[in-house]
């Protein structure tokens, strides 16, 4: 009995040590406000650089695990006006996705896509194999190819 209990405790300890902690940043709260705000501000600055418009986001998915975070949402202009996109380009308003990576205590955009007409992030895990699968929404293997 004592040996069985020891083995059971050891197995549970190993599972806990190797389990992936996944944080959901979809909704801002006191536990995630610093990192969540930092990442969304970086994304806002990135979009401002590209489009010269200030944005806010409707967050659809935002998961964090280890040193990676995956964001999916919709952009809206901060002033409430219609988003202005280059009429010569192919855009699909208003989706934004981004893979963030944390390095030396700071978040950076690893890859980001805005207003795309296709699945630009197809195969992102092959480009970032350390990104935990659990941060991505369940969509089959589109992240792996």
Lowest mean pLDDT among 58-67, 75-84, 96-105, 108-117: 108-117
Q: With bands split at pLDDT 50, 70 and 90, how would you rate the model's confidence at 125?
A: confident
Look at residue 137 and give its three-state secondary structure. Answer: coil
CATH number for region 22-135: 3.10.450
Strands 106-114 and 95-103: antiparallel
CA 94 to chain CA centroid, nearest Å: 16
Strand order of the sheet with strand 23-24? 23-24, 55-65, 68-77, 95-103, 106-114
Domain boundaries, the chain: 22-135
pLDDT tens digits for 25-61? Answer: 999 999 999 999 999 999 999 999 999 999 999 999 9
User: What pTM was estimated for this model as a whole?
Assistant: 0.81
Average pLDDT over residues 63-89: 91
Mean model confidence pLDDT for the chain: 84
């Amino acid at each position: 009995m004592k040996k069985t209990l020891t083995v059971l405790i050891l197995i549970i300890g190993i599972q806990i040590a190797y389990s992936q902690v996944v944080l959901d940043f979809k909704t801002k709260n006191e536990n995630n406000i610093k990192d969540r705000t930092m990442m969304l501000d970086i994304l806002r600055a990135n979009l401002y650089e590209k489009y010269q418009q200030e944005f806010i986001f409707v967050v659809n998915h935002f998961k964090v695990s280890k040193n990676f975070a995956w964001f999916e949402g919709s952009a809206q202009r901060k002033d409430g006006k219609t988003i202005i996109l280059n009429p010569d380009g192919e855009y699909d308003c208003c989706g934004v996705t981004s893979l963030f990576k944390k390095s030396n205590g700071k978040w950076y955009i690893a890859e980001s896509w805005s207003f795309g007409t296709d699945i630009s992030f197809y195969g992102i895990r092959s480009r970032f194999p350390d990104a935990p699968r659990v941060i991505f929404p369940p969509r089959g293997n589109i992240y792996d190819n």
